[in-house]
Structure 1
């Protein structure tokens, strides 16, 4: 699969973060396992003329933190789904890892637990390393 993605936080001026990229996605799925590899190329923008310039690149260094690809794996074991997502820039040694677990709660309702560590958890703070834990409800499964 080939695609174009625009990601923006919808803010203006010094809080604005956005980027455009072209990506390819390769998926391997077999029985209870799925593996996805998605490399991308960032479409560069012109530099800002001054720091609060509304035009120009809001985050020219985003590739240093977000990397050039993501790798996603999901494994279904009985009623559990175990997931992993990783991004990496091998030149800067920055990126992120995310582990997730989907588990049965009641009927078709599923619970969801996630742990994220690294850069790019939110677009506004893409260049700050963060660790996040979360619990929630999943309305559908990944596999």
Structure 2
């Protein structure tokens, strides 16, 4: 992972290479590759940038599959609620939001309480 911090900004680039397993002959077999095409959906790298102005924090996360053009985008925003409580909102669109349905495109919105900020 490559990481750069400049003032109130943070930039991160995380490339990865998937190690192939042996192909399964039966889906119920315990050994073998459960998701051989995951990088076609989740991607080959992740780019993240974050910005903080003190009270508010904005995070953009992008994943991209070079061969298929698929991937995802996620935008997060944290804000003070009061005391030590931090509010959190998130919107995600694309593939790979979870490993169970990595090959289904979806869009979701979330709101909640964050335990800590990125920056």
In structure 2, the gaps of 5 or more residues are none
More strand by share: 1
Q: Residue 97 in 1 paired to residue 97 in 2?
A: no
- Match of 1:85, SS state, is strand
Q: How many residues in Structure 1 have an aligned counterpart in Structure 2?
A: 119
In structure 1, the gaps of 5 or more residues are 1-24
Q: Residue 60 in 1 paired to residue 36 in 2?
A: yes
Out of 108, 115, 119, which is 1:139 matched to? 115
Q: Quick one: distance in 2 between partners of 1:35 and 1:138?
A: 21
Q: Quick one: distance in 2 between partners of 1:96 and 1:121?
A: 8
Q: How does 1:94-133 map to 2 (within 5 A)?
A: 94-133=70-109
Question: TM-score, length-normalised on structure 1?
Answer: 0.80
Q: CA deviation at 1:90?
A: 2.4
CA RMSD of aligned residues (A): 0.9
- Match of 1:63, SS state, is helix
Question: TM-score, length-normalised on structure 2?
Answer: 0.96
Between 97-106 and 50-59, the greater mean CA deviation after superposition: 50-59
The corresponding residue for 1:19 is: none
Q: CA deviation at 1:36?
A: 0.4
